[in-house]
Amino acid sequence: MFTRKNRIPRNSSTFSGLAGWLKHEYKHLGWMLLAKAKGLSTKVKAYKESVHDLVKAIKSSMNEFKNSDKKHDLRVMLKQAELLERHMGDIL
């Protein structure tokens, strides 16, 4: 599923792929808090990298879509992903 070169899932270039990825990362935030409490630093590190990759994927996909509604939705998703990225740095 991941390419070696950039570690971004291949299906992430679709709108639904990005939306699913964002939902997945929000769901796993609680699990990462538990992982941190148990000292599982490699899982937490992988989660942080995945959220960072998500932000990059959304930014790169913004130029691919021509539909203004999709572009608006991508901007909203980007704000949500950046919010997650900012706050996860505080708690993880």
Q: Report residue 67: phi and psi, to 5°.
A: -70, 125
Please state the separation of Cα 78 from the chain's center in Å: 9
Regions in the chain scoring below 70 on pLDDT: 1-12
Q: How many residues does the chain have?
A: 92
Q: Whole-prediction pTM value? A: 0.83
- Per-residue pLDDT, 3: 47
Q: Give residue limits of the domains in the chain.
A: 14-91
- Per-residue pLDDT, 2: 47
